[in-house]
């Protein structure tokens, strides 16, 4: 994250040979079985697949949240590559806070924080308390009059807009979205997607989105199809 | 960006404090969760108990020492047969101690034709070093404290007489009194002096003169019966150095009396009370700590999603630890401050209760407050931090996958158990004592848990049988197998089937509703025996202690009074001269006072056993060795007293050719004395060797003259001896006994009944403090209950939505909650009663040697109290379960 308002280019994201399995009691279940992908700077990318295909697990590994059993995830900036999982969790946390943004299916707002406090949270974690920035992002998502409201006092659509404002507050250079419309009705979901793409285009960040909606995936520059933990298809617009 | 990532790789992160302060600021300004308040309350309770008890016991000890010092007129006294060695005086001067020399002896005073035997005390400047004299200007005028007197002590050439002596002599202030060869001016009326505070009745009159006048009176010559006291007072450290310095230099006829020995009997009572308080306090701290841990862990559980969000948004583990730890620390500091205040208030309340038996000292020990702070730190580090360390490891993947499983609490419980042991060690400073208390509490908890599990199992069996019966009687098969309910677990479906039945009878009258509530409550209780077990054990543990303390208190206080036979002696008479034995007995007969036999007594010290010193003989018992440092009262008798039972050997009678001695069994055991052993006694420097020919058992509580050693007669006649006896004096006879005392001024008559009454009053008050602590422990148990009930809240709310959705009313939910919680309370009460009765029976059988059981009324009340307490508090704690609408819960509000 930078403190100036200059638009920064998105990051390139590359995954090579990602493998991830889960231990369930005495059994090991493979979830991701050797996935390679590359997303260019500023590109929008959708990962699609049926339930249980491993979309979310893959997103977690790409988003520096979940360490793969093997393989690597790299981010690149000006042709300098950083292998995310060669660094410790503190480094990855810093990366998430300063270069990444997240939009979750269930919004994941902190219940006992107001809309403004939720948007302020990533700024505070980065060591700054800039309510002006937070308010401006809430204004961009059309919630100027709801900044003092708690998540429980907001509708689903409003909560997801707060989540969007929070995701962009730190000017991320790569944005991850996990089924961003999964908890919303069609109309609200559509409006939310418009807003997401609009804000993403304005910020120039790279967008990685998990969805099971083919129509939504079609709006992205690149689509990766996942089946039983393997890449089944990939296409570019 | 590149530059930023590079800076991170080169460890150029901004300081942690700048990254967590804004977050902390926004965290602490938000309304804290109820769990955090509960954590705060538990911690505060632990600090209050620790600080309160430590200040209380510490100040009690100071008060006893101060009282003892006042009675001794000094902090340390060396009683001897002569004036103090100048080298000792120099050593005291080097240590900065104040000293006073005092002589005390009985002598006749003369005025005109009257004479009066008087206890004369001759003192040097500065007397008394502790406590205060009171005197009055003339006979009958009001007494004045020493500080207000124009002259603090009699001047050289003056004597202060007490009213009794003055009246007996017919003297007035200003008269010249003959004291030996000197004529001294009676200048003030002596009212009270330190040491005269022991309740006594009648005694020879008292007189106070200056030490420098002694020589000119000619009363103190070689062979005179004079007690020399060298008194010291000063700083605690200097006194301790002086005491150890003196111990190696004392001769066998010197006696060192410190404030500790001077207050032994009172201290014994209070030491036991302190032990009870410490044990009860440890128990309360344990329970408060447990409740703190449960509430902290629930607080942390509630933060799992928030932490995952923050981690996803870039928070490092250190950042999160710093934020949450700071938040807990702030609450701990608040708890510490409030705990200090409440603890101080608690001990003040204790002293308020004790005010008529003990004066509250102004000194306040810092160590009590340090202990409070350490308790707060322990609560934080051992009871909250382990859970916090688990919390900050939560993966942000939790947000993507619905991983709601909570980390196991096993580690936290292990840290808690070890932390509590460390805390006990900190309080006691001894691993042995800590382990005893620790294992004691653990054993008690296991015993109560065992009883509690048995009662629960019993209830479950009864419930299952009743369920089958009631199902057969009242419900059709279709009721039980309807819809999706059959897919649920048997226990869960059972509760739900009850609910389905309610749907069918929704419009039926209240008894049906109550019956359903009863069935639902029992089913709910049986569904979660494990979670309810913890609170049942915690509460029944505290109730067990409460019953034991209440029953013990009632039994022991009553026993003290009832154990004594009617007309047990309540007065002791000592220093009866041989020449006055007959007249003394006759005077008591005239006053219709029935006396015990008169015993000739002399002071002696046991010096060796079979020509060997005690260490050579192998005496290791510390108490026994300490008792040997003092002179003891010896007697001779040809007859064995009624209440003495011959345990071994043969009673010596009165026709022995050699010196024989009969030894009391307890001291014989502790000194490893057996029949035919030779005991070496020193009577005023003269050695007497006696052969042990019998060992006796006796009852020290009989209020009769009792002796460790009884010589065969006639062996005391060659040493200075007097007589002693005891007798019962009814209230209306006190004046007549006073007359007897006047007629025999050399005799000392002590009202032992008054001393016992005072001790008993002290015991009653202190035991009240112990009982009050037991109630505090119950409160701590209640906190565990509240914390553990809150742990079940989420699950209950989830169930509630299902119950409400299928037609249950809020009223039915509330009633079933009453039933469920009352069963828990009943269980805790019953377990406590059973455990307490077993403990009481064991104590009565093996410790107190008397039948001991809690009265039926008390046990009934405790069970009722337990049921009501759990139900009332529980229904209040879980009010959301019946107050919230299902829609509100679904919306996640």
DSSP output for B437-474: HHHHHHHHHHHHHHHHHHHHHHHHHHHHHHHHHHHHHH
CA separation for the pair A13, A29 (Å, rounded) = 26
CA separation for the pair B534, B550 (Å, rounded) = 24
pLDDT at B191: 80
Contact A200, A164 (CB under 8 A): no
Q: Which residue of B has its CA nearest to A8?
A: B1
Give the model's confidence band at B680: pLDDT under 50 very low, under 70 low, under 90 confident, else very high.
very high
**Contact (CB<8Å) A98/B4:** yes
Element containing residue B750 per DSSP (H, E): strand B748-751
**Contact (CB<8Å) A113/B31:** no
Kindly give the pairing relationship between strand B114-123 and strand B205-210.
Answer: parallel
Q: How far apart are the first and last CA of chain B?
A: 40
The alpha-carbon gap from B23 to the nearest alpha carbon of chain A, in Å, equals: 5
Contact B725, B573 (CB under 8 A): yes
CA separation for the pair B376, B43 (Å, rounded) = 6
The alpha-carbon gap from A78 to the nearest alpha carbon of chain B, in Å, equals: 8
- Encode pLDDT of B23-66 as tens digits: 666 665 666 777 888 888 888 888 888 888 888 877 877 777 77
**Contact (CB<8Å) B400/A11:** no
**Contact (CB<8Å) A108/B401:** no
pLDDT at B1: 52
Token code pair at residue B63: 């008060």
DSSP output for A97-133: HHHEEEE-TT----TTS-HHHHHHHHHHHTT---HHH
Residue A210's contacts (CB-CB under 8 Å, 6 or more residues apart) are: A46, A47, A48, A55, A56, A58, A59, A177, A178, A179
Q: Is the ipTM of this complex over 0.90?
A: no
Contact B155, B210 (CB under 8 A): yes
Element containing residue B433 per DSSP (H, E): helix B431-474
Q: What is the mean pLDDT of residues B94-100?
A: 91
CA separation for the pair B202, B117 (Å, rounded) = 12
Of A7, A31, A112, A19, the residue nearest A72 (C-alpha): A19
Kindly give the pairing relationship between strand B158-162 and strand B632-636.
Answer: unpaired
- Encode pLDDT of B305-355 as tens digits: 888 888 888 888 888 888 888 888 888 999 999 999 998 888 888 788 777
Give the long-range contacts of residues B587-592, CB within 8 A, separation 24 or more. Answer: B587/B739, B587/B740, B587/B743, B587/B744, B588/B727, B588/B737, B588/B740, B591/B733, B591/B736, B591/B737, B591/B739, B591/B740, B592/B733, B592/B736
Contact A98, A170 (CB under 8 A): yes
A68 touches chain B (CB under 8 A): no
Q: What is the mean pLDDT of residues B597-612?
A: 87
**Contact (CB<8Å) B314/A82:** no
Q: Which residue of B has its CA nearest to A110?
A: B306
3-state secondary structure of B849: coil
Kindly give the pairing relationship between strand B660-664 and strand B678-683.
Answer: unpaired
pLDDT tops 70 at residue B192: yes
Give the model's confidence band at B268: pLDDT under 50 very low, under 70 low, under 90 confident, else very high.
low
pLDDT tops 70 at residue B496: no
Token code pair at residue B178: 């003959």
- Where b means 16+ CB within 10 Å and e means fewer, B441-450 reads beebbebbbe
3-state secondary structure of B340: helix
Task: Region of A228 please: left (phi>0), alpha (psi -120 to 50) or beta.
Answer: left
Q: Which residue of B has its CA nearest to A95?
A: B314
**Contact (CB<8Å) B30/A113:** yes
3-state secondary structure of B159: strand
pLDDT at B177: 92
The alpha-carbon gap from A61 to the nearest alpha carbon of chain B, in Å, equals: 9
The alpha-carbon gap from A219 to the nearest alpha carbon of chain B, in Å, equals: 23
Of B863, B771, B872, B818, the residue nearest B540 (C-alpha): B863
Mutate to test the interface with B, among A1, A86, A103, A121 (most CBs of B within 10 A): A121
Element containing residue B615 per DSSP (H, E): helix B614-617
- Token pair 């060396």 in the structure block, residue: B78
The alpha-carbon gap from A117 to the nearest alpha carbon of chain B, in Å, equals: 8
Which chain A positions have a beta carbon within 8 Å of B395's beta carbon?
65-66
- Around Cβ A156, how many Cβ atoms within 10 Å? 16
**Contact (CB<8Å) B19/A127:** yes
Half-sphere exposure in the Cβ direction for B240 (13 Å, CA): 3
Mutate to test the interface with A, among B314, B327, B885 (most CBs of A within 10 A): B314
The alpha-carbon gap from A221 to the nearest alpha carbon of chain B, in Å, equals: 24
B-side interface with A, Cβ within 8 Å?
A: 1-2, 4-5, 8-9, 13-14, 18-19, 22-23, 25-26, 30-31, 33, 305-306, 308-319, 395-397, 399-401, 891-893
Which chain B positions have a beta carbon within 8 Å of A57's beta carbon?
400-401
CA separation for the pair B264, B136 (Å, rounded) = 33
The alpha-carbon gap from A127 to the nearest alpha carbon of chain B, in Å, equals: 4
The alpha-carbon gap from A46 to the nearest alpha carbon of chain B, in Å, equals: 16
**Contact (CB<8Å) A97/B22:** no
Residue A5's contacts (CB-CB under 8 Å, 6 or more residues apart) are: none
Which chain A positions have a beta carbon within 8 Å of B5's beta carbon?
77, 82, 95, 99
pLDDT at A62: 93
Kindly give the pairing relationship between strand A206-211 and strand A44-49.
Answer: parallel
Which chain B positions have a beta carbon within 8 Å of A100's beta carbon?
314
- Encode pLDDT of B450-467 as tens digits: 877 777 777 767 766 655
Q: What is the mean pLDDT of residues B533-537?
A: 75
The alpha-carbon gap from B334 to the nearest alpha carbon of chain A, in Å, equals: 23
Contact B139, B163 (CB under 8 A): yes
Of B563, B601, B602, the residue nearest B699 (C-alpha): B563
Which chain A positions have a beta carbon within 8 Å of B2's beta carbon?
77-78, 80
Give the model's confidence band at B677: pLDDT under 50 very low, under 70 low, under 90 confident, else very high.
very high
Does residue B833 have a cis bond before it (omega within 30 degrees)?
no
3-state secondary structure of B74: coil
**A232 CA to centre of own chain:** 22
**Contact (CB<8Å) B314/A125:** yes
CA separation for the pair B557, B767 (Å, rounded) = 9
**Contact (CB<8Å) A90/B317:** yes
pLDDT at A209: 93
Token code pair at residue B842: 């064991």
Element containing residue B515 per DSSP (H, E): helix B510-527
CA separation for the pair B539, B541 (Å, rounded) = 5
**B408 CA to centre of own chain:** 38
pLDDT tops 50 at residue B501: no
Q: What is the CA radius of gyration of chain A?
A: 17
pLDDT tens-digit profile, chain A (237 residues): 444 445 677 889 999 999 998 877 678 888 899 999 999 999 999 999 888 888 888 998 999 888 899 999 999 887 778 898 998 888 888 888 888 898 988 888 887 788 998 898 888 777 776 888 899 999 988 899 999 998 888 988 899 899 999 999 988 889 999 888 887 788 888 888 898 999 888 888 999 999 888 888 999 999 999 998 998 877 876
pLDDT tops 80 at residue B200: no
Q: Which residue of B has its CA nearest to A150?
A: B893
Phi, psi of A126 (to 5 degrees): -85, 0
pLDDT at B486: 35
Partner-chain residue, chosen from B22, B314, B397, that has the shortest CB–CB distance to A94: B314
- Around Cβ B361, how many Cβ atoms within 10 Å? 17
Measured between alpha carbons, how far is residue B570 from residues B201, B577, B580 in Å?
12, 21, 21
Size of interface A-B (CB pairs under 8 A): 120
**Contact (CB<8Å) A166/B313:** yes
- Around Cβ B574, how many Cβ atoms within 10 Å? 17
pLDDT at B246: 87
Q: Give the residue, B115 or B650, on which the prediction is more confident.
A: B650
Q: Which residues make beta-bridge pairs with A178?
A: A210
Measured between alpha carbons, how far is residue B259 from residues B17, B268, B270, B473 in Å?
54, 13, 15, 77
Residue B546: exposure state from Cβ atoms within 10 A (0-12, 13-18, ≥19): buried
- Where b means 16+ CB within 10 Å and e means fewer, B826-862 reads bbbbbbbbbbbbebbeebbeeeeeeebebeeebbeeb
pLDDT at A17: 93
Contact B60, B358 (CB under 8 A): yes
Which chain A positions have a beta carbon within 8 Å of B8's beta carbon?
91, 94
Of B528, B473, B525, B520, the residue nearest B497 (C-alpha): B520
Contact A95, A31 (CB under 8 A): no
Partner-chain residue, chosen from B26, B306, B312, that has the shortest CB–CB distance to A124: B26
- Around Cβ B254, how many Cβ atoms within 10 Å? 19
Residue count of chain B, please give it. Answer: 893
Task: Region of B16 please: left (phi>0), alpha (psi -120 to 50) or beta.
Answer: alpha
CA separation for the pair B399, A19 (Å, rounded) = 21
Q: What is the mean pLDDT of residues B163-169?
A: 80
Q: Which residue of A has its CA nearest to B13?
A: A94
Which chain A positions have a beta carbon within 8 Å of B322's beta carbon?
none
CA separation for the pair B468, B466 (Å, rounded) = 5
The alpha-carbon gap from B13 to the nearest alpha carbon of chain A, in Å, equals: 9
Token code pair at residue B289: 């700590």
């Amino acid at each position: 994250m930078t403190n100036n308002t200059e638009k920064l280019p998105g990051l390139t994201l590359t995954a090579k040979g990602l493998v991830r399995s889960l231990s369930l009691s005495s059994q090991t279940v493979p979830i991701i079985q050797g996935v390679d992908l590359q997303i260019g700077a500023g590109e929008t990318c959708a990962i699609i697949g049926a339930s249980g295909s491993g979309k979310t697990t893959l997103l977690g590994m790409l988003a520096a949240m979940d360490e793969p059993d093997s393989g690597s995830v790299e981010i690149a900036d000006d042709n300098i590559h950083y292998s995310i999982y060669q660094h410790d969790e503190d480094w990855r946390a810093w990366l998430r806070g300063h270069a990444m943004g997240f939009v979750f299916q269930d919004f994941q707002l902190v219940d006992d924080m107001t809309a403004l406090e939720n948007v302020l949270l990533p700024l505070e974690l980065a060591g700054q308390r800039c309510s002006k920035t937070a308010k401006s992002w809430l204004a961009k998502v059309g919630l100027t009059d709801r900044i003092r409201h708690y998540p429980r006092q907001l509708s689903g659509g409003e909560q997801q807009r707060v989540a969007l404002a929070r995701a962009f507050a730190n000017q991320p250079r790569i944005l991850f979205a996990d089924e961003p419309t999964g908890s919303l009705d069609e109309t609200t979901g559509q409006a939310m997607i418009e807003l997401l793409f609009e804000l993403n285009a304005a910020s120039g960040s790279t967008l990685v989105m998990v969805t099971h909606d083919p129509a939504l995936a079609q709006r992205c520059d690149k689509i990766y199809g996942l089946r039983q933990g393997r890449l089944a298809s990939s296409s570019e617009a | 960006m590149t530059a930023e990532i590079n800076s991170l790789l080169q460890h150029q992160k901004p300081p942690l404090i700048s990254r967590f302060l804004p977050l902390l600021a926004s965290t602490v300004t938000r309304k804290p969760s109820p769990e955090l308040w509960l954590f705060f309350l538990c911690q505060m309770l632990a600090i209050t108990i620790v600080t309160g008890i430590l200040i209380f016991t510490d100040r009690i000890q100071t008060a006893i020492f101060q009282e003892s010092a006042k009675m001794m007129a000094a902090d340390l006294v060396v009683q001897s047969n002569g004036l103090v060695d100048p080298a000792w005086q120099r050593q005291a001067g080097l240590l900065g101690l104040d000293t006073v020399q005092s002589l005390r002896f009985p002598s006749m005073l003369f005025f005109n034709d009257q004479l009066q035997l008087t206890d004369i005390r001759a003192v040097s400047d500065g007397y008394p070093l502790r406590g205060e004299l009171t005197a009055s200007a003339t006979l009958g005028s009001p007494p004045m404290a020493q500080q207000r007197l124009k002259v603090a002590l009699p001047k050289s050439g003056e004597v202060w007489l007490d009213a009794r002596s003055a009246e007996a002599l017919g003297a007035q202030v200003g008269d010249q009194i003959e004291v030996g060869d000197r004529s001294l001016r009676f200048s003030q009326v002596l009212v009270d002096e330190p040491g005269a505070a022991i309740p006594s009745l009648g005694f020879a009159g008292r007189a106070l003169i200056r030490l420098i006048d002694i020589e000119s009176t000619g009363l103190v010559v070689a062979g005179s019966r004079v007690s020399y006291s060298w008194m010291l007072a000063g700083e605690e450290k200097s006194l301790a150095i002086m005491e150890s310095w003196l111990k190696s230099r004392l001769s066998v006829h010197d006696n060192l009396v410190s404030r500790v020995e001077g207050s032994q009997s009172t201290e014994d009572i209070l030491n036991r009370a302190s032990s009870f308080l410490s044990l009860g306090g440890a128990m309360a701290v344990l329970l408060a700590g447990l409740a703190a841990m449960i509430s902290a862990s629930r607080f942390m559980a509630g933060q799992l999603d928030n932490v995952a969000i923050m981690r996803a948004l870039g928070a490092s583990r250190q950042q999160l630890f710093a934020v949450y730890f700071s938040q807990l620390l702030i609450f701990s500091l608040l708890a510490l401050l409030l705990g200090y205040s409440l603890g101080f208030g608690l001990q003040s309340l204790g002293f308020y209760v004790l005010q008529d038996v003990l004066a509250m000292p102004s000194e306040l020990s810092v160590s009590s407050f340090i202990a409070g702070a350490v308790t707060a730190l322990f609560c934080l580090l051992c009871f909250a931090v382990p859970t916090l360390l688990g919390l900050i490891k939560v993966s942000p993947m939790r947000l993507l996958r619905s991983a709601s499983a909570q980390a196991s609490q096993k580690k936290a419980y292990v840290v808690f158990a070890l932390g509590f042991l460390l805390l006990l060690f900190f309080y006691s400073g001894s691993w042995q004592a800590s382990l005893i208390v620790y294992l004691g509490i653990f054993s008690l908890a296991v015993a109560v848990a065992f009883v509690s599990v048995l009662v629960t199992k019993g209830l479950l069996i009864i419930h299952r049988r009743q369920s089958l019966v009631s199902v057969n009687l009242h419900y059709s098969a279709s009721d039980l197998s309807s819809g999706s309910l059959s897919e649920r677990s048997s226990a869960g479906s059972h509760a739900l089937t009850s609910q389905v039945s309610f749907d069918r009878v929704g419009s039926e009258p209240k008894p049906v509703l109550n019956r359903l509530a009863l069935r639902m409550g029992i089913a709910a209780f049986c569904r979660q025996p494990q979670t309810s077990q913890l609170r049942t054990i915690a509460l029944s543990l505290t109730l067990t202690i409460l019953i034991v303390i209440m029953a013990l208190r009632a039994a022991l206080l009553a026993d003290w009074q009832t154990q004594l036979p009617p007309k047990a002696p309540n007065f002791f008479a000592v220093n009866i001269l041989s020449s006055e034995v007959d007249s003394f007995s006759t005077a008591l007969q005239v006053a219709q006072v029935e006396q015990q036999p008169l015993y000739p007594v002399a002071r002696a010290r046991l010096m060796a056993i079979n020509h060997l010193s005690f260490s050579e003989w192998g005496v290791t018992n510390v108490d026994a060795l300490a008792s040997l440092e003092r002179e003891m009262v010896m007697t001779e008798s040809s007859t064995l007293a009624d209440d003495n039972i011959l345990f071994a050997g043969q009673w010596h009678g009165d026709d022995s050719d050699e010196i024989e001695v009969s030894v009391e069994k307890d001291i014989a055991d502790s000194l490893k004395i057996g029949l035919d052993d030779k005991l070496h006694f020193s009577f005023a420097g003269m050695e007497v060797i006696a052969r042990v020919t019998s060992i006796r058992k006796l009852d020290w509580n009989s209020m009769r003259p009792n002796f460790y050693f009884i010589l065969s007669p006639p062996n005391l006649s060659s040493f200075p001896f007097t007589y002693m006896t005891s007798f019962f004096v009814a209230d209306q006879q006190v004046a007549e006994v006073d007359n007897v005392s006047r007629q025999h001024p050399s005799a000392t008559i002590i009202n032992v009944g008054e001393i016992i009454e005072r001790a008993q009053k002290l015991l009653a008050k202190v035991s009240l403090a112990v009982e009050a602590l037991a109630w505090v422990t119950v409160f701590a148990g209640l906190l565990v209950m509240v914390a553990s009930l809150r742990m079940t809240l989420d699950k209950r709310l989830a169930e509630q939505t299902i119950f409400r959705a299928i037609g249950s009313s809020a009223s039915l939910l509330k009633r079933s909650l009453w039933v469920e919680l009352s069963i828990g309370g009943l269980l805790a009460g019953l377990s406590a009663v059973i455990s307490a009765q077993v403990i009481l029976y064991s104590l009565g059988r093996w410790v107190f040697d008397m039948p001991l059981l809690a009265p039926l009324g008390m046990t009934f009340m405790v069970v009722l109290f337990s049921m009501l307490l759990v139900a009332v508090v529980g229904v209040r704690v879980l009010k959301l379960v019946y107050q919230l609408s299902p829609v509100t819960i679904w919306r996640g509000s």
